Amino acid sequence: MTPIIYLTFANDPDAHLALLKEESRRLNEALEELDRKEYLKLLREESAQVEDIFAAFTRNKDRIAIFHYAGHAGGTALNLEGGSGQAEGLAQLLGQQQGLQLVFLNGCSSKGQVKGLLAAGVPAVIATSVPIEDRKATEFAQQFYEALANRRTIGQAFKMAQAYLNTRYSKSVEVVMRDAGWVGADATADNMDMPWGLYTQDTGSEAILNWKLPFFRPIGLPPDMIQYIGKSFTANRYIVLVLDEMCKYNPDIYAQMVEQKGEETVKKDSKHFPWLVIENFPWPIGSQIRLLRFYDKPNLERLEHLLSTYIITSQLLYYILLSDLWEQARQHADDFVWKDIKLDKQAFANFDFLGHIPRLYPLVAAKGVPFIGEFAILTEALASADSPLTKAHVFLEDLRGQLATDPPTADLDKLCVKTEQAVSIVLRAAAFLARYRMLTVRNVSIEKPRFEPLAYELDMGPLNATQGTGLNLYQDARYRRKENYSDSCSIVLVSNENHLDQSLNLSPFVMDKNTFVKVKKSETTEQDRLAHIFLMGWEEDDQLIYLAIDHSFTYALNNPDDQVNTAMTQDDFVEGRNLAEDRITSNLADDFGADFGLDADVVNDDSPKVFQQLYDQYVLCKNDLIL
C-alpha cells in the first residue's frame, strides 16, 4: 500500500508567517518526484482547518505515514485556520492511525504536545522546545524531507537537518539520540538556534528511527504485456523481460511501452522494447546488452557476449560499492581492510565481482548510509544458497571457467538459452539502477550575473547507451545550469539531476576517456565531445590498465586497442598510442641496414600524463582502504 505524506499549513492574518508558502513549495519540490513515480502519495493542505485534517484521515484510513504541520503552535494547540486544533483531540485522532510513523510539528514550542502523542500511540514526534524562526523552520523542514526523499531513515534525516543548521548558522549543539527523550539540547537561551527534538516510544525505537520511504513498487508489467514480449522475441526474450523488474523502480519505463488512443491503452511496437532496457541501464551495462542484439545466433560468440554482460554488470555493481566504501572511510576517518583493490591481470581476468558483494556491502552499511540502499536486497539474495540469483551466479562463474579452458561444442542452442536466463536474473537483481542516472561531468563553471543568483554551469551529459556508440553532452542551458554541483572530471551516479550535491563519484573506477583530453576549444572535434567509457582493470608497473566497453570483456582483455593506461601522455593520446609498449623508439636504419638520413624517433617524455589524476586517486583509495 502506497504511503501518504500529509503536509498541512495554517497562517494567521494577525501574525503572518511570510515563508509558510515557501515551506510548502520546498517540501513539495523535495517529494514530488517520489509522488510522480508512485512510491508515495503527497497530500497538501495550505489552509488547514480541523475539518480538513479529520476528513483526510477518514478518507485515507491507515495510509498516512507522516503528518506534517507548519504554522503557529504551542504546547496545547495548533493554530489552524478557522480555529485552534486542541492537542488532546489531535492526539486521539493520530493515535488511532495504524500506518502513522511520524508527526512533525514545525511550530513554536510544540514540545508540550509530545507526551500526549506518544501516550496515544504515535511512534515518533518531531517538536520544538522554544519559539523558532520562520526561515530556520523552513530550512530545517526542507533538509529533513530532502534527506528522507534520498533514502535516509527518519533518524538519519533528522540528524542531517540539524547538521545543516549547525553548519549554516554560528551556534551549534551536540546531538544525542535517546528513546523517549529530548534528542538535542535543553531549551536555554544559549541554544535557541536548535530547538527541534526527535522523540520516540520507549519500546521499538530502533525500528522507528530506521523507517524510510519506499523506493520500490510491487507492480511490474501486466501479465498481458509479459505474454506480448514472450511472443515477440526469440533471442533476448529473457533480457527484454527484465523490463518487468525495471518498471518497479522506474514506472516511467512502462509509460514508454504503451500509448493512449482515446480511452484505450495500446501496446507500442515491441521492436522498441530492447532499447528501453539498454537506455535505462547505465552505459556500461547498456552497451553490453546492445551487443547482444548483434550476436543473436546460438554459438560461442553469443555465449561470450552473454557472459560479458554478466561480468560488466557485476563489475559495475562492485565498483559502485567500492566507491561508496571509500566515501564512508573518508567521512568517518576509519581504517578498512579491503585487499581486493590491487589486482594483476590474471587475478582481474578471473575475479568474481558479484561474489564479493556480500562481503563488501556490510562494510558500507555499518559505517553510514549506503548511497544505494537497494544493495541490501541484492546482498540478501546472494546470501541465500537457494535463491535464483545465487544459482545463476554459480552457473555463470562455472561457465566462465569452462569457456576459458574448454569451450563447449554440443547443445549450444540450449546452453545459450540457459545462459540468457541466468544473465537476466542478474540483470533483474541490478534493475534498481534504472532509477539512477549516470553522468559524465567534465568541468564546472561558476556564473554570477549582476543582481542574479549564483549558478553553476556543468559541462556534462547523461551516460545511457543509445542506438549509437557515442553520446553528446548537454547543449541546452536548462540542463547545464544548476543550483548545486558535483565533483568534476568524473563520472557520477545521481538519483535526481537537480540535486547534484547528492551524488556518488565513481572515480577512479569508471572514467570517460575524453574528459582528460586537454585541447583548446578551437581544436575540439565532434569525437572529443562524445563519451568513451572505460572500466578500471588491473595494476601493472605503477600504472592502471583500463578496458573499453565497446566490445566484450574477453576481447578488451586481450586486445590493446581496447585498453588505455595511466602512463599515457598527451602526445600518446593525440598520436593514437594506447599502451606504454607502443611508445617504441626506433631507428629506421635498423630495419634494412640503410641510412635514410632521418633521426631516430624520439618520444617526448615531458608531455603531461593524461590520466595521472586517476592514478593519484587510486593510490589515495588504496591508502584509505588498505592498512
Handedness of CA 156, 158, 161, 165 (dihedral sign): negative
Strands (E), 238-377: 258-261, 264-267
pLDDT band at residue 518 under the 50/70/90 scheme: low
Per-residue pLDDT of 241-284, as tens digits, reads 999 999 999 888 999 999 988 888 899 999 999 999 999 999 99
- Show Cβ contacts of residue 9 under 8 Å, excluding neighbours closer than 6 positions: 20, 21, 23, 24, 44, 45, 46, 47, 48, 69, 70, 71
The answer to whether the peptide bond before residue 508 is cis (omega within 30 degrees of 0) is yes
Per-residue pLDDT of 582-619, as tens digits, reads 544 444 445 555 555 555 555 555 678 889 999 999 99
74: nearest Cα among 102, 113, 38:
113
CA gap 433, 210 in Å, rounded: 23
- Between the ranges 148-152, 303-307, 502-506, where is the mean pLDDT highest? 303-307
Task: Name residue 135's amino acid.
Answer: R
**214 within domain boundaries:** no
Does residue 581 carry a pLDDT above 60? no
Range of the structural domain that residue 326 is part of? 223-434
Per-residue pLDDT of 204-254, as tens digits, reads 788 899 898 887 777 889 999 999 999 999 999 999 999 999 999 988 899
pLDDT band at residue 103 under the 50/70/90 scheme: very high
Query: Looking at 379, 401, 434, which one is the last position of a domain?
Result: 434
Does residue 527 carry a pLDDT above 90? no
The pLDDT of residue 237 is: 95
Q: Angle between the 375-383 and 412-429 helix axes, to the nearest 10 degrees? A: 130
Mean pLDDT, rounded, of the chain: 85
Q: Are strands 258-261 and 437-447 parallel, antiparallel or unpaired?
A: unpaired
User: Of 74-83, 177-186, 408-417, 531-540, which gets the smallest average pLDDT?
Assistant: 177-186
**141 within domain boundaries:** yes
**467 within domain boundaries:** no
Query: Looking at 209, 231, 256, which one is the last position of a domain?
Result: 209
The pLDDT of residue 370 is: 83
251: nearest Cα among 373, 375, 434, 427:
434
Does residue 19 carry a pLDDT above 70? yes
Task: Name residue 442's amino acid.
Answer: R
Whether 205 and 261 map to the same domain: the answer is no
How many Å separate Cα 55 from the centre of its chain? 37
Whether 255 and 197 map to the same domain: the answer is no
Whether 145 and 232 map to the same domain: the answer is no
Q: 128, 196 in Cβ contact below 8 A?
A: yes
β-strand partners of 413 = none
Does residue 57 carry a pLDDT above 50? yes
Q: Which residue has the higher pLDDT, 524 or 106?
A: 106
Length of the chain, please? 627
CATH number, domain containing residue 161:
3.40.50.1460
Does residue 309 carry a pLDDT above 90? yes
Whether 311 and 423 map to the same domain: the answer is yes
Whether 200 and 244 map to the same domain: the answer is no
**451 within domain boundaries:** no
**120 within domain boundaries:** yes
Q: 198, 153 in Cβ contact below 8 A?
A: no
275: enclosing H helix or E strand: helix 273-280
- Show Cβ contacts of residue 356 under 8 Å, excluding neighbours closer than 6 positions: 318, 340
Does residue 177 carry a pLDDT above 60? no
Q: 334, 295 in Cβ contact below 8 A?
A: no
Q: CA end-to-end span of the chain, whole Å? A: 46
299: nearest Cα among 407, 422, 426:
407
350: enclosing H helix or E strand: helix 345-350
Does residue 378 carry a pLDDT above 80? yes
Mean pLDDT for the stretch of residues 8-20 = 76
Query: Looking at 209, 238, 254, which one is the last position of a domain?
Result: 209
Distances (CA, A) of 606 to 454, 540, 582, 616: 39, 21, 17, 18
Whether 81 and 9 map to the same domain: the answer is yes
The pLDDT of residue 457 is: 86
DSSP state of 534: E
Whether 177 and 241 map to the same domain: the answer is no
The pLDDT of residue 523 is: 47
Task: Name residue 215's amino acid.
Answer: F
The three cell numbers locating residue 306: 552473454
CA gap 561, 558 in Å, rounded: 9
The count of domains in the chain is: 2
User: Of 430-444, 501-515, 580-594, which gets the smallest average pLDDT?
Assistant: 580-594
The pLDDT of residue 191 is: 44
**542 within domain boundaries:** no
**454 within domain boundaries:** no
β-strand partners of 494 = 437, 503
CA gap 624, 618 in Å, rounded: 10
Whether 230 and 194 map to the same domain: the answer is no
pLDDT band at residue 68 under the 50/70/90 scheme: very high
Whether 318 and 418 map to the same domain: the answer is yes
How many Å separate Cα 507 from the centre of its chain? 15
Whether 256 and 279 map to the same domain: the answer is yes
The three cell numbers locating residue 201: 516510544
**441 within domain boundaries:** no
Q: 286, 326 in Cβ contact below 8 A?
A: no
The three cell numbers locating residue 214: 519506499
The pLDDT of residue 588 is: 43
Mean pLDDT for the stretch of residues 166-175 = 58
The three cell numbers locating residue 472: 553528446
Does residue 627 carry a pLDDT above 70? no
Whether 189 and 229 map to the same domain: the answer is no
**Is 385 exposed, middle or buried, given 0-12, 13-18 or 19+ CB atoms closer than 10 A?**
exposed
Handedness of CA 500, 503, 505, 509 (dihedral sign): negative
Give every strand in the sheet of 533-539, ordered side by side. Answer: 510-512, 533-539, 544-548, 563-565
Whether 202 and 227 map to the same domain: the answer is no
Q: 345, 545 in Cβ contact below 8 A?
A: yes
The pLDDT of residue 185 is: 38
Mean pLDDT for the stretch of residues 38-64 = 92
